[in-house]
Structure 1
């Protein structure tokens, strides 16, 4: 939307993974993800002389590094500015290809996805930051943009920084609501980028990419519990363990069982069948526990296990969300069940209910050209 002073304001929602984690990083493998009503807002206004990028959250950003031999190697993946800069660079390449003259502007980024006191909930802020930046610039340059193009542009920008991941969080941020997401072939994209213009790339079908909006059964209530902290296990150790696990036969079995589980779960959405969805959520939890056991990656911390046990005792289905190891757990409970007793037990264990709702993106065109 455009204000009186030429100011453009857009927002992109955060997300949580419901099922299909770890497997979804392999091309063609499905996951179910939900967009939530916590947002990253981007504002953009033209400037005469000097442009700026200002973010309320990230003024005091520290950088993380480690040693490789004598060299200091920086990890930029946690620094939101790299996603913002990558999104700007790509969108301006697209603008340039479309014959637009590049301008100077003030870009402001405000994120609700990390709480005021710096807690990270694991709601996918780097993806939402990327989507919001691309969206704002496409409006600024009046570029033709629909959800499919917005997803592709933001996905390329995010990949340029992160180098891996399924990009499902980008899809959730673009499409909103509940989605079934099948990840695309990243190697194809890498080679295709060498030989195509951005405009052509955004118009192409990407191998294996599928994004489908799901309608949840009316008796399904999503409850989100936050355990207070990410796991103490270093991400680095987990990444190394995970890459070793991928070479094992058990990993292939895990992938195929995860795919079958997600297929049945998606069918449960189509059939409006809460019990079927809950059964597959529990099955997905068991598959992830198996993956955790043979890969030695901590997915379910003791407090997440406690959260899930309390939810199951209340008659709900529950599991970790995303990579696990801390952050959030998700609960699918029948609306006929009063969750109060469960929530009181959570509070007693130091588990906080995040008061978030599912966010549906409207279907208005994103930009007129």
Structure 2
């Protein structure tokens, strides 16, 4: 299947959402207005809807071995048997359907099928943001199914509201990358304010409001930039790691505030270097961001760069790359940025010897067929 293709009619709809990888600004980005750079990668999660007459179902081999039936109770989709693995799917459906009801759309029953490329063949997670991608894919597929415009900001906001409804402590940069694709400069919104609006206002009004501190900008990377991604084979939980850092920040207020300020300055310089096509400065700031994250470990005691990630980075650095962990760290992926004429074969050989899997991923830029 061509993952950039989609179909829309009164009876079926399909949407594919790419996975994500953080390049810079991790941890600081959970604070409103603090910048990050995140990319969409060409591994996809696809959601397909097909109209049904009598009942609905959800089927994903990643979440269950059989289709699970659902029905509407008080206008809300509810599974006939509980399955916690589907919480993001259900949240995406419930928020999007609430928006649809408030904007005058009549709802129907449908079968939802989910297919994911974001995990390894053995089922291990690569850390490519499967919860974000499934939310974005389901929201976009539902909007198409009901023949609504699925512009990126609407998809992002509905996906973010779905995650907020589950009490997420993340930045939602994964949602921005999956919705907008490509290289994205992202700053998170004031979650306290938006949660208050959710309690006080109809959902469609919350969507229409300007969310304080939110910024999403697509970047054009320098043409001479090579990206190489490695997987340590050790999955990590972003929610747990972010929670650990948040728990420590109140004890280390001055140090944490210094980290936030330095991260903001670093990512701002890096974003300017992207706009200028300045690869050496991008690499310099990647190295600086790695240093800041290691200092955050010293502040909080939370291990972000594991020994395997250190190996990944040191091997890449020895061959001219600028490398760091991606996302919350603690395992999962790291990456390196090289000048485009660099021979990467020694890096790949040494990564393999260190049991680091090179993921043959590219940055995904959507085209007209994807839209």
Query: TM-score scaled by structure 2?
Result: 0.90
Question: Does 1:87 pair with 2:92?
Answer: yes
The residue correspondences of 1:134-283 to structure 2 (distance < 5 A) are 134-230=139-235, 236=240, 239-240=243-244, 242-248=246-252, 249-283=254-288
- Pairing partner for 2:332 from 324, 327, 330: 327
Alpha-carbon distance in 2 for matches of 1:137, 1:33:
25
Question: Does 1:10 pair with 2:15?
Answer: yes
The C-alpha deviation readout for 1:282-340, integer Å capped at 9, x for no partner, is: 00000000000121001111111011111000011000000101100010011111100
- Pairing partner for 1:52 from 48, 51, 57: 57
Deviation at 1:341, TM superposition (A): 0.6
Deviation at 1:129, TM superposition (A): 0.4
* C-alpha spacing 1:82/1:134, structure 2 compared with 1 (3 Å): same
RMSD: 2.1
Question: Does 1:304 pair with 2:309?
Answer: yes
Alpha-carbon distance in 2 for matches of 1:212, 1:237:
26
* C-alpha spacing 1:213/1:5, structure 2 compared with 1 (3 Å): closer
Structure 1 residue matching 2:232: 3-state secondary structure: strand
Alpha-carbon distance in 2 for matches of 1:58, 1:206:
33
Runs of 4+ in 1 over 4 A off after TM superposition: 233-238, 363-366
Alpha-carbon distance in 1 for matches of 2:8, 2:260:
48
Alpha-carbon distance in 2 for matches of 1:336, 1:237:
36
Structure 2 residue matching 1:27: 3-state secondary structure: coil
Deviation at 1:247, TM superposition (A): 3.6
Query: TM-score scaled by structure 1?
Result: 0.90
* C-alpha spacing 1:240/1:358, structure 2 compared with 1 (3 Å): closer
Structure 2 residue matching 1:338: 3-state secondary structure: coil
* C-alpha spacing 1:310/1:171, structure 2 compared with 1 (3 Å): same
* C-alpha spacing 1:363/1:147, structure 2 compared with 1 (3 Å): farther
Alpha-carbon distance in 1 for matches of 2:178, 2:238:
27
The residue correspondences of 1:284-363 to structure 2 (distance < 5 A) are 284-362=289-367
Alpha-carbon distance in 1 for matches of 2:238, 2:230:
22
Partner residue of 2:75? none
* Alignment coverage as a number of residue pairs: 349
Deviation at 1:235, TM superposition (A): 7.1
Partner residue of 1:106? 111
Alpha-carbon distance in 2 for matches of 1:4, 1:147:
20
Partner residue of 1:69? none
Does the 8 A contact of 1:168 with 1:181 survive in 2? Answer: yes
Does the 8 A contact of 1:146 with 1:365 survive in 2? Answer: no
Structure 2 residue matching 1:35: 3-state secondary structure: strand
Deviation at 1:99, TM superposition (A): 1.4
The C-alpha deviation readout for 1:158-216, integer Å capped at 9, x for no partner, is: 22124211000000000000000011000110111123222222222111000011111
Partner residue of 1:120? 125
Deviation at 1:6, TM superposition (A): 2.9
Deviates more, 1:329-338 or 1:78-87: 78-87
Alpha-carbon distance in 2 for matches of 1:32, 1:275:
17
Does the 8 A contact of 1:238 with 1:297 survive in 2? Answer: no
- The runs of 5 or more residues in structure 2 that have no matched partner are 1-5, 67-82
Deviates more, 1:236-245 or 1:305-314: 236-245
- The runs of 5 or more residues in structure 1 that have no matched partner are 62-77
The C-alpha deviation readout for 1:105-136, integer Å capped at 9, x for no partner, is: 00011111112211110000000000011111
Alpha-carbon distance in 1 for matches of 2:294, 2:102:
48
Deviates more, 1:110-119 or 1:170-179: 110-119
Alpha-carbon distance in 2 for matches of 1:278, 1:99:
50
Does the 8 A contact of 2:9 with 2:145 survive in 1? Answer: no
Question: Does 1:97 pair with 2:99?
Answer: no
